[in-house]
Structure 1
Amino acid sequence: MFNAAIRCNTVSITLATLISIVFRQHEMNRNSVLIENIAVSARKMPVINYYLFQLVFFRSKDR
């Protein structure tokens, strides 16, 4: 139970880091290769987190 909580927390922190990188990258309007790489690495995460990431990713693209 304790291990599961730690794992969940780690994934959340990773997700938050990825999202912040995407927003920073989007603000700077640089090469989109990094964003694509982040999206690929996000696919390796659990499914729910991947969909959450996609939601934020596409919302940031629309701006």
Structure 2
Amino acid sequence: MSVDVPASRELAGIAELAARATGDRLRAGFRSRPEVDLKRDIHDPVTEHDRAAEETIREVLAEQT
């Protein structure tokens, strides 16, 4: 399997954009007491910050692809 270097660089750039945007959003909520929900049971928590991170990543990917 060969890797297309320009394509992999482009994907790395998109990943960096998503990471930076997500970091900015998460920093805004740092040291807060986020709301916590359970996905399936008590052993599967998800915070509002988790959901915000996923939303941001999805938005960046939609804009860039």
Band the TM-score falls in, shorter-chain normalisation: 0.3 to 0.5
Which structure has the greater CA radius of gyration? 2
User: TM-score w.r.t. structure 1 length?
Assistant: 0.46
Q: Which has the higher helix share?
A: 1
Q: Which has the higher strand share?
A: 2
